[in-house]
A = this chain, B = another copy of it.
Amino acid sequence: MQLLSLCYLFKGLSESQFHGLSEITKQVRAQKGQFLIHEGQKAEELFVLKKGAVELLTRVNGDLVNVDFELPIAILRNPGDCIGTSSLVEPYIYSLSARCFEDSELLIIKQPDLINLMLTDHELGCCMMKNLAQHLLNRLKETRQELKIHFKTIFRSTQS
């Protein structure tokens, strides 16, 4: 329960809501190199990092160039970091892959259990979705910022 409270998704929940959440949460171990989720697959599980490190990856494959590899996006190392939030949003398909960067311990919540909890407690659902929207907006701003940097690099190379 203490670990769940470190996760941005559950910010603002009440003690009884955390209790309900902990009842549908299990603990798992995963070895270095093991994939937790695969980009493009059905999103059926949400993970919260307890110990270790997890790398987020996205596949780059080209029509114009002959490339096909997993591009690293980030490494999650903080207890409470979560993986697999696509399990909360239609069409429930993972948008990234996640692979253990070190031997890790995680909490796991099955998607149907979580959706069910949100449907029976709309206040919890509203709070979690608000937290998720805030997180996604931040990621979107960061990604737009990266695009701007690329844009400026191209602008500079055309000027020089």
Q: Which A residues are closer than 8 A to B by beta carbons?
A: 58, 60, 62, 64-65, 67, 71, 86, 88-90, 95, 118, 122-123, 125-126, 129-130, 132-134, 136-137, 139-141, 143-144, 146-148, 150-152, 154-156, 159
Chain B residues whose C-beta falls within 8 Å of the C-beta of A86 in the assembled complex: 137
- Given the known interface contacts A125-B126, A129-B130, A134-B89, the answer about A64 and B148 at a Cβ–Cβ threshold of 8 Å is no
Contact of A130 among B67, B89, B134, B137 (CB under 8 A): B89
A58-B144, A137-B136, A144-B58 known; A156-B126 Cβ under 8 A: no
Asked whether A95 lies within 8 Å of B141 as measured between CB atoms, the reply is yes
For residue A26, give the distance in angstroms from its CB to the closest CB of chain B: 25
Interface of A is mostly: helix
A155 to B61, CA, bound (A): 12
Q: B133 contacts A60, CB within 8 Å?
A: no
A-B contact pairs, 29 of them (CB 8 A): A58-B144, A58-B148, A60-B148, A62-B152, A64-B152, A71-B148, A71-B151, A88-B133, A89-B130, A89-B133, A89-B134, A89-B137, A95-B137, A95-B140, A95-B141, A95-B144, A122-B122, A122-B123, A125-B129, A125-B130, A129-B129, A129-B133, A133-B133, A136-B136, A136-B137, A143-B143, A146-B147, A147-B147, A150-B150
Extra inter-chain contacts (5) besides given A60-B148, A95-B140, A150-B154, CB under 8 Å:
A67-B152, A95-B137, A118-B126, A125-B130, A143-B143
User: Considering residues A118, A126, A155, which has the most beta carbons from chain B within 10 angstroms of its beta carbon?
Assistant: A126
Q: Which residue of B lies closest to A156 (CB)?
A: B65
